[in-house]
Amino acid sequence: VQLQASGGGLVQAGGSLRLACAASGGTFSRYGMGWFRQAPGKEREFVAAIGRNGRITYGDSVKGRFTISRENAKKTVYLQMDSLKPEDTAVYFCAAHSRAILTGIYDYTDIKMFDIWGQGTLVTVSS
């Protein structure tokens, strides 16, 4: 399975971007999917996740501004980012938890839950 993230770019504060992460190979509908980000000099930070059962979790810093969704038919997970702030500037990574079971309850804020990673896409928010 490979993950390909896209949609990053330069945007002014208050603006919006939508990231997409497309999977190739594997059975996408069975995966828990997540987004993480990493700013220069900082650790990778949890942003949002959506389980194979549709359960959604957000990081505290993005609640109310970001929306995660998935389209299994297209093997794609999205991250709609609104009301962007300069502190949202980072490389955004998508990741998959390929061993998720339908009835499982997982802590997707834990980076160790994810075993497949895509390359990052850079988001820059100017003030």
For residue 95, the tally of other CB atoms under 10 A from its CB is 26
Chain segment 69-104, per-residue pLDDT in tens: 999 999 999 999 999 999 999 999 999 999 988 888
Q: Which residues, listed in sequence order, are joined to residue 49 by a DSSP beta bridge?
A: 34, 57
Specify the residue for token string 């998959």. Answer: 96
pLDDT of residue 26: 87
- Using CA atoms, how far apart are residues 117 and 63, in angstroms rounded to an integer? 23
Rounded percentage of the chain residues whose pLDDT exceeds 90: 93
Helical ranges in the chain per DSSP H: none
The C-alpha atoms of residue 112 and residue 127 are separated, in whole angstroms, by 33
